[in-house]
Amino acid sequence: MSSEKRISVKSVRLALATLLSEAATSLNNKVSIDWPENKTTKKVVVLGFDGTEHTLLENWVKEGKLPNIAKLMTSGSYSTLNTTTPSQSPTAWSSFATGTNPGKHNVMDFIIRDPGTYTPTIGIIEVDSGSIGKPVIKPIQRGKTFWEILSEKGIKSKIIKVPITFPTRPMNGKLLSGLGTPDASGSIGTFSYYTTAKTTYIDNDMAYYLYNLENKNILDTKIQGPKTFSQKLTIKRYDNSVDLTVGNKTINLKVGEWSDYIEITFNIIGPLYRESGIAKFYLEESEPDLKLYLSPVSFDPAKPFYNISYPVDFAKSLANENGNFKSVGFSADVWALKEERISDEVFLQDLHNTFDEEIKIMKSEMKKNDWNVYVQVFQATDLVQHMFWRYLDSNNIRHKANSKYQDAILTVYEKMDKVIGEAQKIMSPDTTFIIMSDHGFGPYNKSVDLNAWLVDNGYMTLKDSSKRGDWITDLRSTDLWSNVDWSKTKAYAIGMGSLYINLKDREGKGIVITSEYQKLRDEIKNKLSKLKDGNVIVTSSIDKSEEVMHGEYVCNAPDLLIGFTKGYRISWQTTFGAVPKQVIFVNDNNFSGDHISIAPKLVPGIFISNNKFKNEEKSIMDIAPTVLNYFDIETPSEMDGKIIL
């Protein structure tokens, strides 16, 4: 295992755990608002399949594998859909929802930095822990979503699992939050692993909860909740199964099986703050060694610790009608496969189970007909490509020819095609139907470390260059950048393709004066645009923030946004502000496909509709004004998208 693969979760979890470790409220969802009446009978359905890549789609349509999509392509419209700069899901889906560029909606990167301290923090929610009583979680996303504008006109929407909708906000209709919804421990998705096999994290003790247990028949251990809270877990081992006791319930689980959802309760302050979660166990082995996996603990939809739906009880009614479902935003456990604690097979079982839960919700909620606009986003397409691209690309170090998993991505695309067919059966024929993705995908075969490049080129200075590469130690220390001499550092990189100038009066220890800022930025851009790996130019786009965005929040954008050539991707070390020895190195992880930090023009999304849309270049920002226009609502002046219908 390389040191590269383990750190990603750690800092994200650190960032989020501090946010959610105490009881918190989201915006007041209990207010009842009298929305105006609107008698329109028009209907629009938008289904988003995160990360659907147009080249794969077109090939498989040609091969006759996606019949429903093929039919729509010929009878309606099909094109690519330009993504945002940067080509990240939180940014792109925020542009989808608001019809604006990132300079207006403020969602810049999954990981942003505190300019005062240079420390990384999550870029999708903000917490006000200084507020009286419980900390208040606020969205970082600014601006109005198109369903909020529709609400004001009395038009009802149903919004299911659209990313960056947590914390939830009032609207005319119903909403279940999507990507960005944390798990019960406060992270984006931290799993647990219980074993008697002598095993260690090697060096990342925060990526997941690892329980090294004694080789006994009855084991007392725990399930980690928020902060220091936990629930007792007792494991009784047999030859081919285990008894698992959580609270006052015991189940028997056989080797090679998943449990149903288990209810887990964390008593935080007596009965007042009792957090209820649900999770599933998977037993890989009981004897000779216990190998037991527990999925990240989702908020219990029936009684979530935070509001994950609007109205608050919508999540509960979904669970009552369709059965329990995974509510954590990451709909499959990429981290467990990245950390090699579950197999390809088990990952795919989990991914398809969750996909099926979401399809069930779609069918029952779409049928209810209590909406004018129905929007649902599925993550399975994105997550399967992150983890299984290695089977498509023979250049990947983990590629295996003729593997049974070479069709893993195709199988998910085929399921997407079926979902589209199912949705068409439910909706009336005059419904406008849009199918889209927020970006495409490509191989991630090599990592590029921007901080290593900055050091090599004299823009960043280390206090002790012999310590370079010891980035795990860096990340564990309280001062993440402890080896960086800020008094001699002109630029640094953090996040996913974001480069910042160490600007005086903006950054905590800034040294670059305003009059040198543009020249320095041009110089770095120019040099970085020539970065080569053999004969390949590694960077494909380098944008100054003001060239690709405008609006009130451009000031929060990175100074340079780096987009790599396909095959290359920002290193995990850069993402969390470390400086390894090499600039370019092989990615030897299961996490083998990506779009993040790839030049946006290389990874457009897709756009398909049953209607004839204008034959012109389309952007993800165009969906919001187009939907509004369909209901005769003028495009609000702040929107940057155009009407494409």
Q: Which is nearer to Zn ion, 377 or 427 (CB)?
A: 377
**In this chain, which residue has its C-beta nearest to Zn ion?**
89
Whether the link from the prior residue into 115 is cis, omega within 30° of 0, is no
Token output for 389? 């691209």
Selected range binding Zn ion among 52-60, 82-90, 211-219, 629-637, rule: CB under 5 A: 82-90
Least distance to Zn ion, CB of residue 123, Å: 14
Q: Which is nearer to Zn ion, 89 or 101 (CB)?
A: 89
Restricted to residues 379-418, the positions that interact with Zn ion (CB under 5 A) are 382
Report d(CA 532, CA 184) in Å as an integer. Answer: 44
Report d(CA 511, CA 489) in Å as an integer. Answer: 7
Selected range binding Zn ion among 51-59, 68-76, 231-239, 277-285, rule: CB under 5 A: 51-59
Q: Which is nearer to Zn ion, 46 or 253 (CB)?
A: 46
Least distance to Zn ion, CB of residue 152, Å: 28
Q: Which is nearer to Zn ion, 259 or 592 (CB)?
A: 592
Phi, psi (deg, nearest 5) at residue 635: -65, 120
Q: By CB under 5 A, tell whether 53 contacts Zn ion.
A: no
Q: Which is nearer to Zn ion, 183 or 382 (CB)?
A: 382
Angle at CA of residue 526, ends 522 and 529, nearest 5°:
135
Pattern of binders to Zn ion over 112-151, x per CB under 5 A? ----------------------------------------
Token output for 466? 């012999």
Q: Which is nearer to Zn ion, 188 or 297 (CB)?
A: 188
Query: Could you tell me how many residues of this chain bind Zn ion (CB under 5 A)?
Result: 5
Which of 11, 82, 89, 187 touches Zn ion by CB under 5 A?
89
Comparing C-alpha atoms, which of 45, 46, 139, 56 is closest to residue 412?
A: 56
* Beta carbons within 10 angstroms of residue 467's beta carbon: 14
Is residue 155 packed enough to be buried (19+ CB in 10 Å), middle (13-18) or exposed (0-12)?
Answer: buried
Three-state secondary structure readout of 441-484: CEEEEEEECHHHHHHHCCCCCECCHHHCCCHHHHHHCCCCCCCE
Q: Which is nearer to Zn ion, 231 or 354 (CB)?
A: 354
Least distance to Zn ion, CB of residue 634, Å: 29
Q: Which is nearer to Zn ion, 242 or 377 (CB)?
A: 377
Rg (the chain; Cα; Å): 24
Q: Which is nearer to Zn ion, 208 or 330 (CB)?
A: 330
Least distance to Zn ion, CB of residue 384, Å: 12
Residue 539, C-beta contacts closer than 8 angstroms, at least 6 positions apart: 528, 529, 531, 562, 563, 564, 565, 599
Selected range binding Zn ion among 87-95, 101-109, 137-145, 391-399, rule: CB under 5 A: 87-95
Which of 26, 44, 48, 50 touches Zn ion by CB under 5 A?
50
Least distance to Zn ion, CB of residue 382, Å: 5
Q: Are 405 and 387 in contact (CB under 8 A)?
A: no
Restricted to residues 201-220, the positions that interact with Zn ion (CB under 5 A) are none
Q: Which is nearer to Zn ion, 383 or 427 (CB)?
A: 383
Pattern of binders to Zn ion over 415-444, x per CB under 5 A? -----------------------x------
Selected range binding Zn ion among 86-94, 340-348, 477-485, 631-639, rule: CB under 5 A: 86-94
Least distance to Zn ion, CB of residue 91, Å: 9
Token output for 349? 């079982």
Least distance to Zn ion, CB of residue 272, Å: 38
Comparing C-alpha atoms, which of 50, 2, 1, 16 is closest to residue 571?
A: 2
DSSP secondary structure letters along 151-184: HHTT--EEEEEESS--S----SEEEEE-TT---T
**Going by DSSP bridges, is the β-strand pair 157-162/173-177 parallel, antiparallel, or unpaired?**
parallel
Least distance to Zn ion, CB of residue 626, Å: 20
DSSP secondary structure letters along 104-138: HH----SEEE-TTT--EEESSEEEETTSSSSPEEE
Q: Which is nearer to Zn ion, 50 or 365 (CB)?
A: 50
Least distance to Zn ion, CB of residue 167, Å: 20
Q: Are 588 and 2 in contact (CB under 8 A)?
A: yes
Restricted to residues 571-590, the positions that interact with Zn ion (CB under 5 A) are none
Residue 516, C-beta contacts closer than 8 angstroms, at least 6 positions apart: none
Selected range binding Zn ion among 44-52, 118-126, 345-353, 390-398, rule: CB under 5 A: 44-52
Least distance to Zn ion, CB of residue 5, Å: 21
Selected range binding Zn ion among 50-58, 369-377, 489-497, 504-512, rule: CB under 5 A: 50-58
Q: Are 335 and 329 in contact (CB under 8 A)?
A: no
Least distance to Zn ion, CB of residue 51, Å: 5
Report d(CA 83, CA 441) in Å as an integer. Answer: 11
Report d(CA 540, CA 522) in Å as an integer. Answer: 16
Pattern of binders to Zn ion over 363-382, x per CB under 5 A? -------------------x
Least distance to Zn ion, CB of residue 50, Å: 4
Least distance to Zn ion, CB of residue 105, Å: 15
- Residue 433 exposure: Cα atoms within 13 Å on the Cβ side: 22
Residues near Zn ion, by CB under 5 A: 50-51, 89, 382, 438
